[in-house]
Structure 1
Amino acid sequence: MQEDVQEAATPAYAYPLLVKQLLHTPFVQAPDQEIVYRGQLRMTYSTLRERIARLANGLEKLGVRHGNTVAVMDWDSHRYLECYFAIPMMGAVLQTVNVRLSPDEIAYTINHAGAEVLLVHADFLPVVDSIKEKLETVRTFVYIDEPGSDAAAHSIAFSTEYEAMLAEHAAHYAFPDFDENTRATTFYTTGTTGLPKGVYFSHRQLVLHTLTVMAALTSPVSGQRFHRGDVYMPLTPMFHVHAWGMPYIATVLGVKQVYPGRYQPDQLVKLVQDEGVTFSHCVGTILHMLLNCAQADSADFSKWKVVIGGGALPHGLARHALARGIDIFAGYGMSETCPVLSLAQLPVGAETLEPDEQVRLRCKTGFPVPLVDLRIVDDAMEDLPRDGCATGEIVARAPWLTQGYLNNPDASAQLWAGGYLHTQDIANIDPTGNLQITDRMKDVIKSGGEWVSSLEIESLVSLYPGVDEVAVIGIKDEKWGERPVALVVLKAGAAVNAGDIQQHLMTFSQSGRISKYAVPQTVKFVDALQKTSVGKINKKWLREQFA
């Protein structure tokens, strides 16, 4: 078939979807809007514009060219926001280093990404000093100083200091045009097995993700939305999937942005109050930690909207947040999907629903955002009924999904088997198109011939008074194949025993919501649940410890 391709006029500009294009609107419409760091440093979008140019000039002086990789080790800060733009806009690649990995894993990711320049916050000097001899590609180190930081003794040969570098370079930079499919960012997954895998995204992918998720977040009539009157603060590390892409969206909208530095619960709550923060996102464990810190007891959260991702939103946590006035809802994605695929925004008219039904809808995985082609399939990649019951793997297509793992063709082929990205999440879709994840493939429990959703059991246990946190894992059983075990952290002073939890779950079994096989035969009370580097419950570690 012959294509009827549009013919452009000779002087027409073929507008490439580059990260720099995201800055046109905010720099014109919000030049005086504030960007705040830790409540201590304040600057405007006009200053951001100058600092992005100064950073690019400084990096160019250090030898950074198109295609080079610049790695960053910093807390969530205005500096990181500057790197989000300046480095890709030069045509270089930004590597956001997961500072919570082990030193050897950090060295591996920097070497694997081929980073030539490394920006290092003072707090990470001991780590970098311990691995500097293992860094094979880094030729230049840039020091990020900060008043009050604990600058340990080291033997790293820094070329310059971040603020000094910006101060000595011009506030203008002619960012060039280039192919929109140029790689813009690289970061590494934090899987529980094997070495971290490099995930990468192009300028085109970042721009399309920004515009589409912005459209999805701004579309609701009232709740669960993000708009130009909001004040944004991330509670997801900026090294992890571009802080879910939200700093790009916040910048396009020209909203006030608040960056908290190192996460300290009382300080985070103080920033929410002092700066009027109205929109954040995080994993459930972070919100749980904030709501239980001393500073939160007297805090007013009635204007705060929070998206929970990186794992299921338990009903117990949702109810607790709603009781404190937080407009809480779930989002879904993964490192490989840039990350947003779906959002659990309430449908029009949901305000008339019973509170329990509203909680249920807020805790679902949600509706796919525009441009996402999402399917639930069986092992043969055949579609399963959208009846809210049939479960299969989520596979997806969208214009911003990573096209593979960096320098790992075998894993890339598995990720994209059959032409769809495989999430390894098990879910169902109801007749309205609403998605509900029931488990990760590796976490599904089969007991007595029936599939048991660990996420469902966790959510139900979280509703029991006195339960602080819970994880449900499968343990091998000679008779039943596997049996679910509930690992429960109690609130201080709570008097709860295993029989109480089991009886609580039996009521749901008797009503038909869960099978009898889903009621854990064993309930263990633990002091804490092991977390991954990005705050998710580490079920692989728990299975190994409690096998």
Structure 2
Amino acid sequence: MAGKKIYKTPSAYDYPLILKHLLHTPERFARDQEIVYGEVKRLTYAEFFERLGRLANALKHIGARPGSVIGVMDWDSHRYLECFFAIPMMGAILHTVNVRLAPEQIAYTINHAEDEILFVHRDFVPLIKAIRSRLKTVRTFVFLSDDPDTSVPGEFTGEYEGMLETSPSEYDFPDFDENTQATMFYTTATTGLPKGVYFSHRQLVLHTLAVAAGSNGMKPGGKGLAADDVYMPITPMFHVHAWGLPYVATMLGIKQVYPGRYEPEKLLKLIEKEGVTFSHCVPTILHMLLNHPLSRKINLSKWRVNVGGAPLSEALCREALDRGIDVYSGYGMSETCPVLTLALLRPDMVSWDKDLQVEVRTKTGIPIPLVDLRIADPEGRFLPHDGKSVGEIVVRSPWLTQGYFKDKEKSEELWSGGWLHTGDVGYIDRRGYLKITDRIKDVIKSGGEWISSLELENIILKHEAVDEAAAVGIPDEKWGERPVVLVVLKQEYVGKVSEDELIAFYRNLAHKGTIPKWAMPDRILFVNSLPKTSVGKLDKKLIRKQVLSTNAAKE
């Protein structure tokens, strides 16, 4: 039964939730604040706002119109931030191309998205030339370069900075329906072709507001992300809008630092030079930075880091805390825009000792505002929040993708029963904190019981000799599957630690009741490195192949 709608006088402004309205506050209160692109460029917000108008006019001049799909292939830069706003604000669609995919996958995503205009950084020109004959919809290429004196390749219409210089700064960004599509990108699936997800202006605005509210209102002291922060993403801008944080930082008028291509020494120098206080990244990146010699020479005690994309291990969390870094987990996925939960400490937890804090910080977290997150059994029944009942994580929120682009069957599968199915398995404790125990496709099914690959990895990462680890299940005639753990040793321990010693490490914890004896791995394999996806996650598909080929070679 519908309630009574409000009366709206004919002259009242409806105020659609569109991206241009996120700029009202910084336009008035942060015009002198800085946006920095590595060592290449510094500009103020006032200049940024002018450049948005210039970019929109330049795009209009080369034929962009409402509904046009415009692809971007760039490193993290001020240019990318301008595209985050100007392209959707003019009614076009921003396609953030994952430049780390294989060339044939990049060609597929550009064609599938139906890109008409493609911005290409000079580093990716050879790649585009290699796949040019396979691109069916692109009619205009725009060249991006950090060096204004670089010659523009012949097949390119023009160069980004040159186009902006010759375009007027005044552009009347229109109002339109808030459900208009703003962005799209493709998932980095380890099986099959990448799947396209898409988001509206309304979804991006609500996600921005909820992340800002969740980061501040749910964090003790309110120090989540504020006007005096310095923000630098270390999650690529092509990956789920850099987790949506550039929209949040711009709305709040925060100083922003974009590092370009990720190089450990450059990232650490920027953190020190620009006074970076907040970043987000996958565990692989944080691990890489903490292991770089320069990290021992600079003060990281003012740095807060939200880790997502893969589980934050207790060992890595503890190491970061020991360096003075305020580190905590977050959770989301490409299909969810992405942020769903943050593992922020409650006020009563701030005084807890480090071990107890680590346990909370490495959980998947509590839902941010406007997220309805549940645990469900295979029949779709919701499970209690008792810290024991394990099921699939299903979710509702106003910013979840409404389907997969051009894939009705997979879209219905994603939204079966009216809830978005994440494919992740976990539990919710009595305090409301979610803990992911595995991906459905990665859980090891042995003798009718589930073994968490994440738990096996987290255990062995506590051993002083272990640098990285991955657990997978391999076929077994008797049990169905049995766990095998691949380990990368720290350099100083190579050749000094045996498989038996690490098995004994698991056995000792099994005796203490930390892990069931039947869940212990049968084998541990030492490897030089672990395969990862384009966004730094463990590629379990390739890892399984690696284990199976190793076993086959021994038979």
Both proteins in one fold, TM over 0.5? yes
Give the Cα–Cα distance (whole angstroms) in 1 for the partners of residues 411 and 525 of structure 2.
39
Give the deviation of 1:149 after TM superposition: 10
SS at match of 1:112: helix
Counterpart for residue 214 of structure 1: 212
The alpha-carbon distance between structure 1 residues 2 and 236, as it changes in their structure 2 partners (threshold 3 A), is closer
The letter for the 2-side match of 1:81 is: L
The alpha-carbon distance between structure 1 residues 468 and 169, as it changes in their structure 2 partners (threshold 3 A), is same
SS at match of 2:474: strand
Sequence identity (%): 57
SS at match of 2:284: helix
Counterpart for residue 329 of structure 1: 328
Q: How does 1:33-48 map to 2 (within 5 A)?
A: 33-48=33-48
SS at match of 2:456: helix
SS at match of 2:116: strand
- Indicate if the aligned counterparts of 1:269 and 1:295 stay in contact, CA closer than 8 A: yes
Select which of 156, 163, 171 maps to 2:169: 171
- Indicate if the aligned counterparts of 1:36 and 1:257 stay in contact, CA closer than 8 A: yes
SS at match of 2:458: helix
- Indicate if the aligned counterparts of 1:224 and 1:328 stay in contact, CA closer than 8 A: no
SS at match of 2:91: coil
Counterpart for residue 303 of structure 1: 302
**TM-score when normalising by structure 1:** 0.98
Give the Cα–Cα distance (whole angstroms) in 2 for the partners of residues 149 and 107 of structure 1.
29
Q: How does 1:115-514 map to 2 (within 5 A)?
A: 115-147=115-147, 157-219=155-217, 220-222=219-221, 225-494=224-493, 495-514=496-515
SS at match of 1:508: helix
- Indicate if the aligned counterparts of 1:224 and 1:329 stay in contact, CA closer than 8 A: no
Deviations 1:361-413 (A, max 9, x none): 00000101111111100111001121111100000000000000111101101
The letter for the 2-side match of 1:55 is: L
- Gapped runs of 5+ residues in structure 2? 549-555
Deviations 1:158-192 (A, max 9, x none): 11100000000111110000000000001000101
Counterpart for residue 543 of structure 2: 542
The alpha-carbon distance between structure 1 residues 150 and 469, as it changes in their structure 2 partners (threshold 3 A), is farther
Give the Cα–Cα distance (whole angstroms) in 1 for the partners of residues 223 and 488 of structure 2.
30
SS at match of 1:118: strand
Give the deviation of 1:224 after TM superposition: 6.9
Give the deviation of 1:2 after TM superposition: 4.5
Give the Cα–Cα distance (whole angstroms) in 2 for the partners of residues 289 and 266 of structure 1.
10
Counterpart for residue 85 of structure 1: 85
Give the deviation of 1:148 after TM superposition: 9.4
Are positions 1:10 and 2:10 aligned together?
yes
Give the deviation of 1:477 after TM superposition: 1.6
SS at match of 2:455: helix
Give the Cα–Cα distance (whole angstroms) in 2 for the partners of residues 78 and 511 of structure 1.
53
SS at match of 2:220: coil
Give the Cα–Cα distance (whole angstroms) in 1 for the partners of residues 150 and 24 of structure 2.
38
Give the Cα–Cα distance (whole angstroms) in 2 for the partners of residues 139 and 206 of structure 1.
28
Counterpart for residue 520 of structure 1: 521
The letter for the 1-side match of 2:401 is: T
- Indicate if the aligned counterparts of 1:486 and 1:524 stay in contact, CA closer than 8 A: yes
SS at match of 1:493: helix
Aligned length: 545
- Indicate if the aligned counterparts of 1:450 and 1:517 stay in contact, CA closer than 8 A: no
Deviations 1:452-472 (A, max 9, x none): 111111111111102111111
Give the Cα–Cα distance (whole angstroms) in 2 for the partners of residues 352 and 518 of structure 1.
35
The alpha-carbon distance between structure 1 residues 139 and 106, as it changes in their structure 2 partners (threshold 3 A), is same
SS at match of 1:321: helix
Give the Cα–Cα distance (whole angstroms) in 2 for the partners of residues 21 and 249 of structure 1.
12
Give the Cα–Cα distance (whole angstroms) in 2 for the partners of residues 95 and 295 of structure 1.
36
Give the Cα–Cα distance (whole angstroms) in 2 for the partners of residues 135 and 346 of structure 1.
48
SS at match of 2:492: coil
Give the Cα–Cα distance (whole angstroms) in 1 for the partners of residues 443 and 363 of structure 2.
18
| More displaced stretch, 506-515 vs 11-20 | 506-515
SS at match of 1:115: coil
Give the Cα–Cα distance (whole angstroms) in 2 for the partners of residues 524 and 545 of structure 1.
10
Give the deviation of 1:226 after TM superposition: 1.6
The letter for the 1-side match of 2:54 is: R
Give the deviation of 1:44 after TM superposition: 0.4
Give the Cα–Cα distance (whole angstroms) in 2 for the partners of residues 399 and 508 of structure 1.
43
Give the deviation of 1:150 after TM superposition: 9.1
Give the Cα–Cα distance (whole angstroms) in 2 for the partners of residues 351 and 184 of structure 1.
39
Give the Cα–Cα distance (whole angstroms) in 2 for the partners of residues 2 and 228 of structure 1.
41
The letter for the 2-side match of 1:455 is: L
- Indicate if the aligned counterparts of 2:220 and 2:345 stay in contact, CA closer than 8 A: no
- Gapped runs of 5+ residues in structure 1? none
Give the deviation of 1:223 after TM superposition: 7.8
SS at match of 1:87: helix
SS at match of 1:228: coil
- Indicate if the aligned counterparts of 1:189 and 1:335 stay in contact, CA closer than 8 A: yes
Counterpart for residue 19 of structure 1: 19
- Indicate if the aligned counterparts of 2:98 and 2:186 stay in contact, CA closer than 8 A: yes
Give the deviation of 1:475 after TM superposition: 1.2
The alpha-carbon distance between structure 1 residues 42 and 58, as it changes in their structure 2 partners (threshold 3 A), is same
Give the Cα–Cα distance (whole angstroms) in 1 for the partners of residues 147 and 58 of structure 2.
22
Give the deviation of 1:288 after TM superposition: 0.6
The alpha-carbon distance between structure 1 residues 57 and 388, as it changes in their structure 2 partners (threshold 3 A), is same
- Indicate if the aligned counterparts of 1:123 and 1:149 stay in contact, CA closer than 8 A: no
The letter for the 1-side match of 2:139 is: R
Counterpart for residue 551 of structure 2: none
Give the deviation of 1:496 after TM superposition: 2.0
Deviations 1:485-519 (A, max 9, x none): 11111111113222222222223222222111222
Give the Cα–Cα distance (whole angstroms) in 2 for the partners of residues 491 and 149 of structure 1.
44
Aligned alpha-carbon RMSD (Å):
1.4
Counterpart for residue 530 of structure 1: 531
Give the Cα–Cα distance (whole angstroms) in 1 for the partners of residues 149 and 388 of structure 2.
53
Give the Cα–Cα distance (whole angstroms) in 2 for the partners of residues 493 and 516 of structure 1.
30
**TM-score when normalising by structure 2:** 0.96
Give the Cα–Cα distance (whole angstroms) in 2 for the partners of residues 2 and 235 of structure 1.
46
- Indicate if the aligned counterparts of 1:224 and 1:345 stay in contact, CA closer than 8 A: no
The letter for the 1-side match of 2:513 is: G
SS at match of 2:221: coil
Give the Cα–Cα distance (whole angstroms) in 2 for the partners of residues 99 and 122 of structure 1.
12
SS at match of 1:222: helix
SS at match of 1:537: coil
Give the Cα–Cα distance (whole angstroms) in 2 for the partners of residues 441 and 405 of structure 1.
20
The alpha-carbon distance between structure 1 residues 363 and 296, as it changes in their structure 2 partners (threshold 3 A), is same
SS at match of 2:157: strand
- Indicate if the aligned counterparts of 2:220 and 2:346 stay in contact, CA closer than 8 A: no
Give the Cα–Cα distance (whole angstroms) in 2 for the partners of residues 247 and 2 of structure 1.
38
